[in-house]
Each structure stands twice: as structure tokens, then as C-alpha cells.
A = this chain, B = another copy of it.
Amino acid sequence: MARANPVDKHDARRRALADSALRTLGELGYARASLREIANNSPFSHGVVHYYFADKLDLIVYCVRQYKAVCVTRYDGAVADATTADGLVAAFADRLCETIVDDAPMHRLWYDLRAQSMFEESLREAVEQIDRTLEDMVGRVVARYAELAGTEPSLPAHTAYGMLDGVFQQALLGHLSGEPAALDTLRAEVHQIMPLLVRAGRPGLVRV
């Protein structure tokens, strides 16, 4: 049995620690989650956090990066499996709703972090990188949607991402507030918005 590379082990520990921290961070948010609280809700002592991470920011950024890395792959399946434009939209909307239900704490943490980055310059680079990853993900979904609809995207990925992120954020807030219709509203909105992101390609709609 090959012994684990020390570097890999170090990294594995960081990942495990970050995984634990994510739960607490998602529960309390960036400001309220102290390193002690994070350590308490984990099998580690509070000193070990500082052993693996330079400071709180370092930890947080690592955590959110780790989460969003898996998050963006969530929609690749839907993109690959879809055989019709409408089917893709439905699958995409479903995944969005699912992730609100399943990962609400993670998403609010992300929005918290992004807001903090407007104040704290040292967060900007990580936030921008994650934002770009999400934008690419939206770009892929829209591109495939356009392909299936026999047309092409009509807006830059940046714009499409901004629009969808906006309604997603509203839905998340609504869901957390206990609004029962929040998810259905989001689903309907996605169905309405997606066709706006591509050139009108339906044979039934022509310019004269």
C-alpha cells in the first residue's frame, strides 16, 4: 500500500477542515463565524485552523472556492443529457431549485462573501474568479440551449449570468424567508428568461 504523499496529506487535511468549516460558515455567515466556533463544530482544535491556514480570510476563500468548484459541475449533466431546448430549460430550472433547497447555507455564504469583497480588497481576486466560473457555466447552458433551439445566444455570457443570478438571489432570499412560492416563481422565471437570451429562432417568429 503506497503511503500518502505528505503534500497530498496536508492538502487532504485542509480539505477536511474546510469541509467542516463550510457547515459553520453557512450557518453563521462570514462575520459571525469565529475560528473557535468553526473548530468547535469540527473534530479539530482551534489552533489547528491556524496551522493549516494563514488567517481567517485564507480559510474562507479556500472554503468557498472548494464549494463552488463542485457547484458549477452540477449543471453539466443537465446540459449533456438534454435533447430538446425545452427539456434543457426544465432540467436547468429544476437543478437551480434543488440547489436552493439543498444548499441554501452555501449560497448565502457565497453572497455574503461577494458582498464582503466590495469592502475587503483582498477578497476580490477569489470572488472574481468564482464569478467568472459561474458565468462560464451559465454560458455553457445558454450555448447548448441555443444549439438545441437552432439559433445562437443573443447576449454576452456576462449579461446572461447577471440576469439569472439576480433572480436566483431573489429566490434564495424568498426561500429562506419561508415564502412557499419562491421556488415556483424561480422556475417560471427561468422558463421566461431563457428564450430571451437567444436570437428568436423559432420558425413561427419572423422579421418582416
Which residues of the partner chain B approach A192 to less than 8 Å between Cβ atoms?
A: 155, 159
Chain B residues contacting A127 (CB-CB under 8 Å) are 173
Most chain-B CB neighbours within 10 Å: which of A112, A117, A206, A208? Answer: A112
On chain A, the number of residues with a Cβ less than 8 Å from chain B's Cβ atoms is: 45
With A192-B155, A193-B159, A208-B206: A118-B108 Cβ-Cβ less than 8 Å = yes
User: Complex: how many Å from CA A206 to CA B205?
Assistant: 7
| Contact mask for chain A residues 154-198; partner B; CB cutoff 8 A; 1 contact, 0 none | 010011011111110110110011000000010001001100100
A155 contact set on B, CB distance < 8 A: 192
A108 touches B112 (CB 8 A): no
A3 within 8 A of B: no
Question: Is B205 within 8 A of A114, CB to CB?
Answer: no
A152 to chain B, nearest CB (A): 15
CB within 8 A of A162: which of B108, B116, B166? B166
Determine the chain B residues whose CB is within 8 A of the CB of A206 once the complex forms.
206, 208
Selected A-B contacts with CB under 8 Å, 10 pairs? A30-B31, A31-B116, A111-B118, A112-B118, A115-B115, A118-B173, A127-B173, A163-B163, A166-B166, A166-B169
